[in-house]
Structure 1
Amino acid sequence: MSSLHPFYRPLGSTGLSLSPLGLGTVKIGRNQGVKYPSGFELPDDAAVRNLLAQARELGINLLDTAPAYGTSEQRLGPLLKGQREQWIICSKVGEEFNGGQSHFDFSAKHTRQSVERSLQRLGTDRLELVLVHSDGNDLEVLDQEVYPTLAQLKQEGLILAYGFSGKTVEGGLRALQQGDCAMVTYNLREQAERPVLDFALQHNKGILIKKALASGHLCLDGEDPVRAGLELVLGHQGVTSAIIGTINPAHLTQNVEAAVSVLSHME
């Protein structure tokens, strides 16, 4: 069976080592207001438990969650009991999702409360990585209290690294100057934020990729879209890991097999 174990990559200078694919968990917590080609039911606990076991077997050690992902954090907490040390957990601050609507709060008070709530929900004493869930006004968000508060939480040891999940090149570049990591959209259709990847590579910062496969919308004539997408994303040396959100065990296996094949050819 394919495994990503031989291909772990450092997250910039944080000392964390990540699998080149991470498991996104929005689909275990929320099926309202999500941009996927088709609707889906939330999987039950047994299905999520099996998915986590499968991901671990395939060499994935990165879990991506967020308060805005509905019940994702609350569900992961109990399911990760006894295996917390085997995972690197990335959560977020800034965006709340209630009653089908998102709202944003980047204040110091909310940032701290959000991290403390995530720790409680996930049943853990630290989060390896916390990202700011930007509302798209990246530079305005970075002018608020959220980044200095995350820096303080890092000093206190509640989080090990922090960064920014934004929508603009300017936001990504500024976020990397002050923080450890950025989460960037980069795929066969959207490459506008590539300068953020290049900057990260030059300055030893971490990069996580969102929408690496364009949220499942990607179709290429006569070519394997997953492989082609991963070739682009993992082929950039600035990229630490691509977050793939799936609750389908067959897709998870296919994604890992494609990534292992791509990474093996790069060596």
Structure 2
Amino acid sequence: MTRGLEKRSMKRLGKEVTFVGFGALEIGRNWGLGSGTEVERPDEVGASEVLNGVLDAGINLIDTASAYHRSEERIGLFVSDRRNEYILASKCGEHNNEPHTYYDFTYKAVKESIDQSLIKLKTDIIDIMQIHFGPDPEEVLNRGETVAAMKDARKEGKIRFLGASIDGGLATRCIRSGDFDVMQMAYSLLDQGNKENIRLAHDKGMGVFIRSGLAAGKLTKRVIPHLGSDFPEKEKVKKLLVLVDGDGDRLTELALNFLYNEPGVSSVLAGSKSLSHIKQNLELLARPLDQSLLDRALAIVNE
């Protein structure tokens, strides 16, 4: 069996989640590496195919947000009838104003946003509601309105657990506060800044969801046509590609196994508008782990 469907325990939540989860950004909002059709969200048929295919494959976590434009609505339309098959996580604080978004972390706005998410998702309860922090997360935490609104929504039976999507020192603050059950953090072979936060959260029994686990496509074959452009990690990516003889799939395999080897990670949010990409991630995690190659990759990124 693929390691991608291995269940990992989130002790504080009393739930188990598949190592590979589904990040539902791209089925609702134009996003991704590239331009034009490369970043366009799928049509209704395509979105339904991806969502149902993810569940058919055995993945049991779907992560969405109000800010992902039509994502919540499409989840409600196409898989609300399979609600008992997945853990549902959404976010509040950043709001949909398609084609844009805006931030409002006031008590009233957050309570209303949660109610709207329930309607769009066609569910009575959202398992995990996370704060979708904006440009001044410290102010949001200091004011406390967002957390208060989420706690009241929990008392009302609208959400089960609280989460925060944030990195660095403020993630550490959230973990230590005791207010949150789940942390969503950026972490990848190229960006290991949250390593200690992951371990701290895991030690407290929290769920740890990883976003940008493939560095927004930079650790996939999709990066190859863009190597002529400038981006901060380009030289490391080029060296990693040399290590895997230019095979972008092997690069992704290394990136996924790096995350798999971190016991503090509950689930890696693999986002795509293509079901084949999700299935390929699962297939790559079914291959035997080449620890020697992974060690050489780590030496490259840490040099």
The verdict on a shared fold, with TM-score over 0.5 as the criterion, is yes
2: CA distance between counterparts of 1:99 and 1:203?
38
Q: What RMSD over aligned residues (CA atoms) do the two structures have, in Å?
A: 2.1
SS at match of 1:242: strand
Structure 2, unpaired ranges of 5+: 220-236, 245-249, 292-303
The 1:169–1:241 alpha-carbon spacing in structure 2 relative to 1, beyond 3 Å, is same
SS at match of 1:170: helix
Q: Deviation per CA, 1:121-166, whole angstroms, max 9, x where unpaired?
A: 0110000111100114332221231112212222222111111001
How many equivalent residue pairs? Answer: 261
Give how far 1:2 is off.
4.5
Matched, 1:228 2:227: no
**Larger % of helix: which?**
2
Would the aligned equivalents of 1:74 and 1:122 in 2 still touch at CA under 8 Å? yes
Would the aligned equivalents of 2:29 and 2:40 in 1 still touch at CA under 8 Å? no
Q: Deviation per CA, 1:75-124, whole angstroms, max 9, x where unpaired?
A: 21111132111111110000024244332111111111111100000110
Match of 1:164 in 2: 164
1: CA distance between counterparts of 2:286 and 2:142?
40
Would the aligned equivalents of 2:32 and 2:39 in 1 still touch at CA under 8 Å? no
Would the aligned equivalents of 1:13 and 1:206 in 2 still touch at CA under 8 Å? yes
Give how far 1:52 is off.
2.1
Give how far 1:243 is off.
0.5
2: CA distance between counterparts of 1:250 and 1:75?
19
Q: Deviation per CA, 1:211-230, whole angstroms, max 9, x where unpaired?
A: 00011122431332211111
The 1:261–1:36 alpha-carbon spacing in structure 2 relative to 1, beyond 3 Å, is same
**Which structure would you say has the larger Rg?**
2
2: CA distance between counterparts of 1:97 and 1:57?
29
Would the aligned equivalents of 2:51 and 2:75 in 1 still touch at CA under 8 Å? no
Matched, 1:107 2:106: yes
Matched, 1:252 2:281: no
1: CA distance between counterparts of 2:75 and 2:59?
15
2: CA distance between counterparts of 1:123 and 1:225?
38
Match of 1:18 in 2: 17
TM-score by length of 1: 0.90
Match of 2:189 in 1: 188
1: CA distance between counterparts of 2:186 and 2:154?
25
TM-score by length of 2: 0.80
Match of 1:127 in 2: 126
